[in-house]
Structure 1
Amino acid sequence: MKLIEYLAPLKNAGQQPRILAVMLFLERTRGQTKFTVAEIRAALVDARTTGIKGWNIASRLSSARDRVHSTGSGTTRVWELTDTGRAAVEAFAPPLPVEAPGVAKQSEVAALRAQVATIQDAEARAFASEAVDCLEVGAHRAAIVFIWVAAVHEIQERIWSASNPSAITTAAQSHNPKAKVCKKRDDLSEYNEELLLQVAQDLGVVDKNQKTELKKALDLRNGAGHPNKLRPGEHKAKAHIEELVTMLF
């Protein structure tokens, strides 16, 4: 089923129902769960929705109350359906066909690729893309390692942009007196990753809760990146990628 077919019975519905219907359709057919206003508008345009230029999609979403949830702000704000929203759409929209497991996996990978494509830093985006490539072919340990490399690069960039060498050195040496004096961006690579996370928290680059979750991600990376009996499954690797991308990018 194409989106234009799915929306056809809703042609006389208001803007908000059709917007929510688009979100459910893309969620079920692509595995994508978070959407920008631009992505929703593009889907409506592809479905040849009339009068779309005059639609204030952000306003319609804001008035959807408990049917949607949003994070971020401005052009980076993303929206997702709640369980209440899904139930509401299912009550007024046509039923969607059930996907085969293989199709569902392809949809999930495509959704991750769409998220990764929005990463602005080219180097971090390249590492994150490799993580998704690994996930797609079942190389789960490699996927966990590559997305962590992207995360570390992003944290280093944030520390360097938000502070100065003297403050970075002070923060590092307060936890490890032997830590290298930071003079240039590349010196951050000399800090072990636990110390890097602590410095990031001390300098306000990440908060306490984020640091806790990043430490868990580091522990998983350590398990995946060293010889041992750990065999992370597809869902664990996918969740690891999603969490880091959502948290940092």
Structure 2
Amino acid sequence: MKLVEYLNPIKNSSQRARILAVMYFLESAEAKSTFSTSELRTALTQARIPNVKSWNIAARLAGAGHTVHATGTAANRRWELTDSGREEVAAFAPPLPQDTQALVKQSEISALRTMVAAITDTEAQNFASEAVDCLEIGAHRATIVFMWVAAVHEIQERIWKNSTGPAITAAAQKHNTRAKSCKKRDDLSEYNEALLLQVAQDLGVIDKNQHTELKRALDLRNGSGHPNKLRPGEHKAKAHIEDIVTMLF
């Protein structure tokens, strides 16, 4: 299916709806995840949408609320659909070709396996590989949990290799006076993971920005690992793997 065919059933929809539909289609057909306004304008033009030159695509996206996420500076901004944005488009746009979706997913899984294979620590690599296995079969909550285990193992290893027991103990007890004294590597498993992240930052194992992002990943793990109504989608689970590998490995 070509983009012009995909957009035809929604040709009378709003500019915003058609822009989001283009992003949704290109994610599947071309395995893209972020877009500049010029890339979206080119795609709409090639799909023979009339009067595209006069569209203020940046304004339409800026007004799209929680359905899109922006990165980069104003001069170099890129846009991506959020999970809720994909759900919204799926509700009004035609279904995507299943064969295209399957090919893209296999390509993404293959790329993730290549990333994971580069992890040098055997234990961390095994946990991360299990996360990719879970993603491939659609077990998104399990994907998030296994990838977080890989992250925790790596952080524990870095702390133990780059510090001393007394220094680790002092950093932990600064935030929790009842924290256990760290005398051996396995004692790190006695620290809850929020404390572990704080100790890692205090000891210079991770920086402030990494701490912030890893705390978000921990919150997602907590939501995925306990009984609740959270149902993380494929893109969120995939991004969880990519973010942790990029930050830590």
Q: Same fold (TM over 0.5)?
A: yes
Cα drift, residue 212 of structure 1: 0.4
C-alpha separation between the residues in 2 aligned to 1:245 and 1:141?
A: 18
Structure 1 match to 2:186: 186
Structure 2 match to 1:227: 227
Structure 2 match to 1:170: 170
Structure 1 match to 2:119: 119
C-alpha separation between the residues in 1 aligned to 2:237 and 2:123?
A: 21
Cα drift, residue 101 of structure 1: 1.2
Cα drift, residue 171 of structure 1: 0.2
Structure 2 match to 1:140: 140
Cα drift, residue 108 of structure 1: 0.1
Is contact 2:29–2:100 with CA below 8 Å preserved after alignment? no
Is contact 2:29–2:101 with CA below 8 Å preserved after alignment? no
Structure 2 match to 1:242: 242
Cα drift, residue 31 of structure 1: 6.1
Q: Write out aligned runs for 1:1-249 (5 A).
A: 100-249=100-249
The 1:30–1:186 alpha-carbon spacing in structure 2 relative to 1, beyond 3 Å, is farther
- Secondary structure of the 2:129 match is helix
Amino acid at match of 1:232: P
After superposition, give the CA deviation of every residue in 1:68-125 in whole Å (9 maximum; x if it has no partner).
xxxxxxxxxxxxxxx9xxxxxxxxxxxxxxx811100000000000000000000000
Cα drift, residue 149 of structure 1: 0.1
After superposition, give the CA deviation of every residue in 1:136-188 in whole Å (9 maximum; x if it has no partner).
00000000000000000000000001100010000000000000000000000
Amino acid at match of 1:112: L
Q: TM-score, normalised by structure 1?
A: 0.61
- Secondary structure of the 2:197 match is helix
C-alpha separation between the residues in 1 aligned to 2:30 and 2:243?
A: 19
Is contact 1:109–1:132 with CA below 8 Å preserved after alignment? yes
Share of identical aligned residues, percent?
A: 73
Is contact 1:127–1:149 with CA below 8 Å preserved after alignment? yes
Is contact 2:128–2:146 with CA below 8 Å preserved after alignment? yes
Number of aligned residue pairs: 158
After superposition, give the CA deviation of every residue in 1:8-65 in whole Å (9 maximum; x if it has no partner).
xxxxxxxxxxxxxxxxxxxx999699xxxxxxxxxxxxxxxxxxxxxxxxxxxxxxxx
C-alpha separation between the residues in 2 aligned to 1:130 and 1:30?
A: 26
Amino acid at match of 2:101: P
* Stretches (4+) displaced over 2 A: 28-33
Amino acid at match of 2:210: Q
C-alpha separation between the residues in 1 aligned to 2:29 and 2:187?
A: 45
- Secondary structure of the 1:100 match is helix
After superposition, give the CA deviation of every residue in 1:188-215 in whole Å (9 maximum; x if it has no partner).
0000000000000000000001000000
Is contact 2:172–2:179 with CA below 8 Å preserved after alignment? yes
Is contact 1:32–1:111 with CA below 8 Å preserved after alignment? no
Amino acid at match of 2:121: D
- Secondary structure of the 2:195 match is helix
Q: TM-score, normalised by structure 2?
A: 0.61
RMSD (CA atoms): 2.1
Q: Which runs of 5+ in 2 are unaligned?
A: 1-27, 34-75, 77-98
